[in-house]
């Protein structure tokens, strides 16, 4: 038995009222994750949940006395044609943002135990599956969830899907010398060649009143870059509705001072742009783009160098390159983590059928949206 208490927030008014305690808990959680922040989560819900009849909030709030000790931002959905699709519980913004999980404060192991109890109770009622996406291998929640699921093997059956892509990062404490990186990436050479052939090279920070100018540059250069590639555009910029959400989330995060949007110009012409998100000591290098006409001058590397230069001056301890095991990332980084998706169901045949129906409904939905 635990003296922790649990509340399920299932309406927009009470959800909005969580904003203050949400921020307090985020500040107390050592696993800094901008994709669990209030601006990111609430903006996604406003765009993709609040007006949909097939989705309902199911935000699990766990309290230790008067203090909020855990928040699992979930929603209920049927997510497919009836009667095929089972009811599921999923993380708010399940495929938007590179890391999932839940916010955890004190008594984290007990909080996760209470959450798993709650999820097991939902599975015994009308929920077919609980689908938790993009759980980082080194996150406290992932470890505690795994430990708790081992103890609950008789009542909850987990299926773990390991994602192929690594998430690469630089831990400054593990050793990082910017001077060596400057030489390794030939930053001065590229900077000098770009100046000689196209004019003065300048870096522009976009925030506040200049944020939308930077966002326009991001969208324009991103579209130009993908127009040169022989493959479909991917990510949040590929879909108009998802792009609109992303831009709104960036505006909300900028209002909290969390956006680092940087562009590089040559002779007054924007040639590259980098969108990063800062949360305490961790910088998420989230999205970049450059003009393919200037690829020979490595504008992306020039931006990364400046991002590290600015970040180190600002006290950043972790430079997180997020999802994607690209070679250019590995040349800047010294660590990696993996992601997993965990699907929970009832044990045995009932759970297996529920998972199969869930996968089939998701496949149908993807075909319809594609």
Between β-strands 127-136 and 87-91, what pairing exists: parallel, antiparallel or unpaired? parallel
pLDDT for the residue 35: 98
Query: SS3 of 39, please?
Result: helix
| Cβ atoms 138, 101 nearer than 8 A | no
Give 288's strand partners. Answer: 274
Fold match between domain 5-163+339-369 and domain 176-333: yes
Which of 75, 91, 70 is CA-nearest to residue 22? 70
pLDDT for the residue 368: 66
How far apart are alpha carbons 234 and 237 in whole angstroms? 7
| Cβ atoms 354, 318 nearer than 8 A | no
Angle at 221 between CA 219 and CA 222, to 5 degrees: 60
Domain boundaries, the chain: 5-163+339-369, 176-333
How far apart are alpha carbons 237 and 84 in whole angstroms? 31
Which of 107, 44, 75, 19 is CA-nearest to residue 243? 44
Per-residue pLDDT of the chain (370 residues; tens, 9 = 90+): 579 999 999 999 999 999 999 999 999 999 999 999 999 999 999 999 998 989 999 999 999 999 999 999 999 998 655 666 789 999 999 999 999 999 999 999 999 999 999 999 999 999 999 999 999 999 999 999 999 999 998 899 999 998 767 899 999 999 999 999 999 999 999 999 999 999 999 999 999 999 999 999 999 999 999 988 878 778 899 899 999 999 999 999 999 999 999 999 999 999 999 999 999 999 999 999 999 999 999 999 999 999 999 999 999 999 999 999 999 999 999 999 999 999 999 999 989 998 988 888 877 776 666 5
CATH topology of domain 176-333: Aminopeptidase (3.40.630)
Which of 190, 165, 217 is CA-nearest to residue 338? 165
How far apart are alpha carbons 333 and 166 in whole angstroms? 12
pLDDT for the residue 80: 59
pLDDT for the residue 297: 97
Q: What is the CA radius of gyration of the chain?
A: 22
Query: SS3 of 141, please?
Result: helix
Could you tell me which residues come within 8 angstroms of residue 40 by beta carbon, excluding any fewer than 6 positions away? 34, 93, 96, 97, 249, 252, 253
pLDDT for the residue 81: 57
| Cis bond before residue 83 (omega within 30° of 0) | yes
Could you tell me which residues come within 8 angstroms of residue 359 by beta carbon, excluding any fewer than 6 positions away? none
Which segments within the chain are labelled E, that is strand?
5-9, 55-64, 67-77, 87-91, 103-104, 127-136, 157-171, 201-206, 259-266, 269-279, 282-290, 318-323, 335-345
How far apart are alpha carbons 171 and 324 in whole angstroms? 17
Q: Which CATH architecture has domain 5-163+339-369?
A: 3-Layer(aba) Sandwich (3.40)
pTM: 0.95
């Amino acid at each position: 038995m635990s003296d922790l208490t649990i509340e399920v927030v299932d309406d927009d008014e009470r959800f909005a009222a969580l904003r203050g305690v949400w921020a307090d808990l985020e500040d107390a959680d050592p696993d800094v994750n901008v994709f669990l922040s209030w601006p990111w989560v609430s903006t996604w819900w406003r765009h993709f949940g609040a007006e949909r009849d097939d989705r309902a909030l199911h935000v699990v709030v766990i309290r230790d006395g008067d203090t909020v000790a855990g928040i699992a931002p979930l929603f209920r959905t049927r997510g497919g044609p009836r009667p095929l699709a089972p009811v599921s519980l999923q993380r708010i913004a399940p495929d938007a943002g590179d890391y999932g999980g839940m916010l955890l404060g004190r008594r984290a192991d007990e909080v996760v135990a209470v959450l798993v109890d709650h999820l097991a109770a939902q599975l015994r009622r009308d929920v077919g599956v609980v689908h938790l996406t993009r759980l980082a291998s080194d996150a406290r929640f992932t470890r505690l969830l795994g430990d708790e699921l081992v103890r609950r093997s008789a009542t909850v059956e987990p299926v773990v899907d390991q994602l192929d892509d690594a998430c690469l990062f630089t831990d400054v404490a593990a050793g990082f010398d910017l001077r060596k990186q400057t030489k390794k990436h030939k930053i001065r050479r590229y900077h000098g060649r770009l100046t000689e052939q196209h004019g003065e090279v300048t870096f522009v920070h976009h925030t506040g009143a200049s944020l939308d100018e930077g966002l326009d540059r991001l969208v324009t250069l991103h579209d130009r870059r993908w127009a040169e590639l022989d493959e479909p555009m991917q990510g949040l910029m590929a879909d108009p509705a998802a792009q609109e959400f992303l831009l709104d989330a960036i505006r909300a995060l900028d209002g909290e001072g969390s956006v680092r949007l940087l562009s590089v110009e040559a002779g007054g012409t924007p040639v590259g742009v980098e969108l990063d998100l800062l949360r305490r000591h961790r910088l998420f290098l989230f999205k970049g783009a450059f003009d393919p006409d200037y690829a020979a001058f490595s504008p992306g590397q020039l931006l990364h160098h400046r991002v590290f230069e600015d970040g180190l001056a600002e006290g950043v301890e972790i430079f997180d390159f997020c999802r994607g095991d690209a070679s250019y990332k590995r040349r800047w980084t010294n660590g990696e983590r993996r992601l997993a998706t965990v699907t929970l169901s009832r044990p045995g045949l009932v759970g297996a059928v529920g998972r199969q129906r869930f996968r089939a409904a998701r496949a149908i939905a993807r075909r319809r949206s594609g």
